Amino acid sequence: MFTFAQSTTYLHCGRILDGVGGQQTNRTIVVEDGKIVRVADGFLGAAAGAKTVDLKQATVMPGFIDLHVHVESELNPKAYMERFTMDPSFVALRATSYMRKTIEAGFTTVRDLGGSGVNISLRDAINAGYVVGPRIFTAEKAIATTGGHADPSNGRNKELSFDAGPEAGVINSADEAWKAVRTRYKNGADCIKITATGGVLSVAKDGQGAQFRDDELEAIVAAAKEYGMHTAAHAHGIGGMQRAIRAGITTIEHGTLMDEETADLMIAYGTYWVPTLSAGSYVAEKAKTPGFFPPIIVPKAISIGSQQKEIFTKMYKKGVKIAFGTDSGVSPHGDNAKEFGYLVDCGVTPMDAITSATSTAAMILDQGEALGQLKAGFTADIVAVMGNPLEDIHLLEKVGFVMKDGKVVKR
Ligand SMILES: [Zn+2]
C-alpha cells in the first residue's frame, strides 16, 4: 500500500458499461499509475512487466458512487444511547469495518451526509492509505435549526440539553447560516448538508414540516457556493423541499412525499433527486420488530416504505433527474447495491440506474472529469460482476472485482 512504483494492468473485459449509457464488448482497459490510459478493441497482449486480469466472462463498470451514506454509524436499537457512551476513537475504528464492506460491495466513492467529525479523519486516513475504503466526500456535521432534525441537543433532559449554535451546525438566522457553512469549511468539509424538514427517525412529533426560513436557505447556498461546495437537503415534506429547491440546493435527499407541483419545480430548477429507497425499505421492515424503534417512530416508519416507492415511481416518470444514494448507515453498510434493484422495481432502466451511480453522481461531486467513466484520463476505479446486469440487476449485489486508484482491492 505504501509503494508508488509504476505499475501497468491490462483488464480483458467481456462487456463494458462505460458509465454514460454506452455498452461495448471485448475490450482491454489499460491502467497505469492509477489512471485509465486506454480502452482498446479486443484483448491486447500485456507489455513486458504488466499484469493481466481476465474479466472476459464479466461486465466491467466504473466504480459505483453512493451519494448518501453515514460512515460513522449503523442503525440498531441502541444507536440513540451510543452517542453518550461511545468514544470517538471507537466510532472511528468501527467505521473502518463499514468502509471495508462498502468498497468490497463495489462502491469506490461515497458522499457522507452527516456525522460528528470522525468522517473527516476517516476520509483523510483512507486518502493517506492507512485504511482501506472508498474515497469519501463529506459534509462533516449536518446543518439544522433549533429543535430540527440534526440539532445535537434534541431529546435530552433539561440537565443534558444545551443551546447548540452555528459551530455545532445549528442556525437561526442568515448570519448564523454563513457562520455554520464557514465552520464546516474550516473543519474540512467537502459539501454542505441541511435538514430542510423533520425526520422519520428523529424522536420528535413532526417528520414533514419545513424547518428553515427562505433567507436562511439562501444564505446557506450562497455561502456554500462561495467556498466551492455543493449542497444537499434532507427533505420529506413538500414545504421544505420547495423552499430548498427555490434557494438553489443541488440535491434533494429522500423527497419522500414529493407531489406533482414539487416535481415540476425540481425539473424547472434542474435539481437532482437522491431517493434513498433502501432506507425506506429497511426502516419499514425493521419497524415490524418489536422494540427496534421507540413507539413514536413505528407508525411513521411503517407508512413510509410503501408510500416512498409509489411516489418515486410516479414522479420519476414525470422526468425528475435522479442520482444514486442509499442512506447506508440507516440500512446496513455493504448492502448499497440493493438500491439498484429498488430503482429498477420503480421503472428506472438498469442502464439508467447504473448511470445514476457513475457519471451522474460524479458530476454532482464536481468530479465529472475524473470519476464515473471508463475512459482514458479517468481515475482507475473499476468494478466487475459475472454475467450481464442489464438482464439481471441483482447481479450488481455480487461484485467480484474491485479496483480503486488502479490498485486491486477485491478479486
Ligand atoms: Zn441520511
CA of 253 to the centre of ligand 1 (A): 8
CA of 209 to the centre of ligand 1 (A): 17
CA of 29 to the centre of ligand 1 (A): 35
CA of 261 to the centre of ligand 1 (A): 24
CA of 368 to the centre of ligand 1 (A): 23
CA of 15 to the centre of ligand 1 (A): 34
CA of 13 to the centre of ligand 1 (A): 35
Prediction pTM value? 0.95
Return the pLDDT at 199.
76
CA of 98 to the centre of ligand 1 (A): 15
CA of 113 to the centre of ligand 1 (A): 6
Q: Are 234 and 255 in contact (CB under 8 A)?
A: no
Return the pLDDT at 98.
98
CA of 137 to the centre of ligand 1 (A): 14
CA of 196 to the centre of ligand 1 (A): 12
Q: Going from the N-terminus, what domains does the chain have, and what CATH number goes with each? A: 8-63+372-410 (2.30.40.10), 64-336 (3.20.20.140)
CA of 47 to the centre of ligand 1 (A): 46
Tens-level pLDDT at each residue, the chain (411 residues):
444 446 899 999 999 999 999 999 999 999 999 999 999 999 999 888 899 999 999 999 999 999 999 999 998 888 778 888 999 999 999 999 999 999 999 999 999 999 999 999 999 999 999 999 999 999 999 999 998 888 888 878 888 888 889 999 999 999 999 999 999 999 999 999 999 998 766 655 556 788 999 999 999 999 999 999 999 999 999 999 999 999 999 999 999 999 999 999 999 999 999 999 999 999 888 888 888 888 878 887 887 777 899 999 999 999 999 999 999 999 999 999 999 999 999 999 999 999 999 999 999 999 999 999 999 999 999 999 999 999 999 999 999 999 999 999 998
Q: Are 148 and 211 in contact (CB under 8 A)?
A: yes
- Residue the block writes with cell 473499476: 382
CA of 327 to the centre of ligand 1 (A): 5
Return the pLDDT at 366.
97
- HEC per residue, the chain: CCCCCCCEEEEEEEEEECCCCCEEEEEEEEEECCEEEEEEECCCCCCCCCEEEEEEEEEEEECEEEEEECCCCCCCCCHHHHHHHCCHHHHHHHHHHHHHHHHHCCEEEEEECCCCCHHHHHHHHHHCCCCCCCEEEECCCCEEECCCCCCCCCCCCCCCCCCCCHHHCEECCHHHHHHHHHHHHHHCCCCEEEECECCCCCCCCCCCCECCCHHHHHHHHHHHHHCCCCEEEEECCHHHHHHHHHHCCCEEEECCCCCHHHHHHHHHHCCEEECCHHHHHHHHHHCCCCCCCCCCCHHHHHHHHHHHHHHHHHHHHHCCCECCCCCECCECCCCCCHHHHHHHHCCCCHHHHHHHCCHHHHHHCCCCCCCCCCCCCCECCEEEEECCCCCCHHHHHCCCEEEECCEEEEC
CA of 254 to the centre of ligand 1 (A): 8
Return the pLDDT at 238.
93
Return the pLDDT at 293.
83
CA of 28 to the centre of ligand 1 (A): 38
CA of 70 to the centre of ligand 1 (A): 6
CA of 411 to the centre of ligand 1 (A): 30
